[in-house]
Amino acid sequence: MSRGGGVRAQLARMQKESALTIASYSFEGPEAILFDRRAMVHGTRQAYQNSNSGAVSRDGTQIALLLHAGENRRPYLGIVRMDGSALQEYPEVDTPTEMCWSYDQSKLAVTSQDHKLVVLNLTTRAVTEIDPRAIITSQCWSPDNGEVVYEAAHGNLRIFTISRGESRELTTGTDSSWSPDGYWIAYHDRDNYFVIRPSGEDKRKLFHKTRVVSALYWSPDSRFVAYVHRDFFALDVEFYHLMVRRLEDGDEDWVADNVDGNSNLQWIANRGFLTLIEDQLGSKR
């Protein structure tokens, strides 16, 4: 075991020092993991955020949301600041289901209800279609903001290069996520998590785990990952743990219950975001 001790204790210390957390957005509003409490805690839900899904930006300052427009209109994309202010509406992107922020927050990769993958330029509002049938995670972008990894039809993982407007095959698997250091793309295949270079070289198995239901979500320094694991109280009663794992030695622990495997989880280090969550927790005591 490393000098940091158990992985949850190490992350709890890092949370106090740098506000590191795992964030997401649900129908209850923005939420974050408090590692020392083993809990996913919800912040305040803004009145006009009539949304049950969203994705937190990598710096923890904005949320991309599915906005419900009312009768006879399809839901569409919206973006708000973390405090719920400055709503921007993007009706040109309808029924967003999976959303992934670029590192510089200039672009969003979005899949729609029918699984069409597009990239939205937030400055020009230009929408580029990438693939008619695709799945992405909240960590789909390369660190240079130039490429997107996604799952196409039949479990075919592909990388789309923005500048060239073309995609190339990477490997076969599901639940792809790009490490923030840029060196690896993680994915899931037959009860194993693998990593592979973006070039398609050096494929290797990270670890074996049955009953996982999510991608691997990388910490900002690429030293830790999180994933959702399904377990059972009884044969027909299931529950979900959010697990964290330190890659250097494989030490892992659970940090929250009842975390949806379809959540757009994102590691962030934002003191303001964490304070918002902790203040909301204090108000409920």
Q: How confident is the model at residue 83 (pLDDT cuts 50, 70, 90)?
A: confident
Question: What is the enclosing helix (H) or strand (E) of 17?
Answer: helix 7-18
CA–CA gap between residue 284 and residue 249 (Å, rounded)? 38
Q: Which residue has the higher pLDDT, 234 or 177?
A: 177
Helices (H) and strands (E) counted in the chain, each on its own, are 2, 23
Is the pLDDT confidence value at 217 over 60?
Answer: yes
Amino acid at the residue 193 = Y
Write out the residue range of the structural domain in which residue 170 sits: 7-283
Amino acid at the residue 69 = A
Residue 1, in any domain of the structure? no
Split into its structural domains, the chain has a count of 1
Residue 271 token pair: 């003191």
For residue 204, what are the β-bridge partners? 195
Helix (H, G, I), strand (E, B) or coil at 275: helix
User: For 122-147, what is the mean pLDDT?
Assistant: 96
Residue 178 token pair: 């790009």
Amino acid at the residue 260 = D
**Which residues, 6+ apart, have CB-to-CB distance to 10 below 8 Å?**
2, 4, 246
Is the pLDDT confidence value at 262 over 70?
Answer: no
Q: What percent of the chain has pLDDT over 90?
A: 71
Residue 219, in any domain of the structure? yes
As a whole number, the mean pLDDT across the chain is 90
**Residue for token pair 């000098």:** 3
Residue 21, in any domain of the structure? yes
State the pLDDT at residue 285.
46
Residue 145, in any domain of the structure? yes
State the pLDDT at residue 28.
77
Nearest to residue 101, comparing CAs of 157, 161, 55? 55
Q: Which residue has the higher pLDDT, 276 or 168?
A: 168
How many CB atoms lie under 10 A from the CB of residue 220? 16
Exposure letters 81-109 (e unless 16+ CB within 10 A, then b): ebebeeeeebeebbebbbbbbbeebebbb
Residue 173, in any domain of the structure? yes
CATH number at residue 131: 2.120.10.30
HSE of 187, CA atoms in CB hemisphere, 13 A: 25
User: For 75-81, what is the mean pLDDT?
Assistant: 92
Residue 250, in any domain of the structure? yes
Residue 2, in any domain of the structure? no
User: For 32-52, what is the mean pLDDT?
Assistant: 78
Q: Which residue has the higher pLDDT, 258 or 250?
A: 250
CA–CA gap between residue 84 and residue 135 (Å, rounded)? 28
State the pLDDT at residue 113.
80
State the pLDDT at residue 279.
77
Residue 231, in any domain of the structure? yes
